[in-house]
Amino acid sequence: MRVLSGIQPSGALHIGNYCGAIRQYIALQEGNDAFYFVANYHALTSVRDAELLRRYVFDVLVDLLSLGIDPEHATLFVQSDVHETTELAWLLTSVTPMGWLEKCVSYKDKVQQGLPAEHGLFAYPVLQAADILLYDADVVPVGQDQKQHLEITRDIAERFNHVYGDVFRLPKPYILDQVAVVPGIDGRKMSKSYQNTIEIFDEPAVIRKKCKKIVTDSTPVEAPKNPDTCPLFGLYKLFAPAGDLAEVERRYREGGMGYGEMKTRLADAIIEHFAVARERRAEWVAHPTRVAEVRAAAAERARRSARIVLDRARVACGMD
């Protein structure tokens, strides 16, 4: 089964990215033909500093390698290294009705958040369709809130196939087993746009400082607390050592567990969870030529696969 997914290089990866998607990408690379890419074409809608974008791309590659994406088991490449992507995007654009794009929730949301209403943002779903269809993906890991993106990809593929013949495989969604919401330090969903994140590879001192800032109510130490509705406990259970979770939950419900102690436990758990990955990351950063070699080899594999699909599409619509 071929699995495909991409991650935008728009800033440091945070623990919400990890819990919501990355840990499952790592699991899916075993026994499948996994293609994962750094979506730097997509990042152009929000990152307009060339040097910063280059750094983000490198950082995301290194982060994913350090967390466990294995170049021997998965093809980890950079979107712009596969030039076939943009050509296929144009072929797909030629059959995509404007009305489909106008209905996309993500475009409306981002414009409301302050991003300019530019064509790149508007046509984002077509480029995303090219990303997916170019590799004959069987499944695409998505969160429940991202299903519309894949539905549009399937619609575009079906329309192209209707006009030109059977060219594209229709991918299916693989709904990620996400926690409902990974809370940020302000209680809202963890997101770069809210500036409420805890980065995976923050220094331990920074992680401790951020955990201390997590918003809580004024319930006193001795009072019982409901772990089911507490964002702080919600974060803790994502990283808590198995033997500790039951005891902490009991103390939460009975009373006697203060938020200060809980924040310390959370910081310790996060730091320990990523300790090995942090060591691996230091090793990758110290040898950037190894990162470049992984990138180049993956680009070659990705382009070989992409060329097969693009050639089918070119022949179908008379561009050969």
Q: Which of 108, 147, 172, 189 is catalytic?
A: 189
Residue 74's closest CA among 298, 245, 293?
298
Contact predicate 161/150, CB 8 Å: no
Minimal CA–CA distance to 209: which of 248, 258, 266, 257? Answer: 266
Catalytic residue among 192, 210, 225, 263: 192
- Cβ atoms of 178 and 142 closer than 8 Å: no
- Do β-strands 139-142 and 172-175 pair in parallel, antiparallel, or remain unpaired? parallel
Active-site residue flag, 189: yes
Catalytic, 110? Answer yes
How far apart CA 70 and CA 169 sit, in angstroms, is 26
Q: Using an 8 Å Cβ cutoff, are 182 and 211 in contact?
A: no
Could you count the other beta carbons within 10 Å of the beta carbon of residue 202?
A: 20
- Which residue in the list 110, 210, 225, 263 is annotated as catalytic? 110
Chain centroid to Cα 151, Å, comes to 18
Interacting residues of 2 by C-beta distance below 8 A, sequence separation 6+: 32, 33, 34, 35, 135, 136, 137, 138, 139
- Interhelix angle 231-239/242-254, rounded to 10 degrees, is 160
Q: Which amino acid is at 117?
A: A
Could you give the dihedral angle defined by the CA atoms of residues 181, 253, 199 and 295, in that order, rounded to the nearest 10 degrees? -70
Catalytic residues: 110, 189, 192
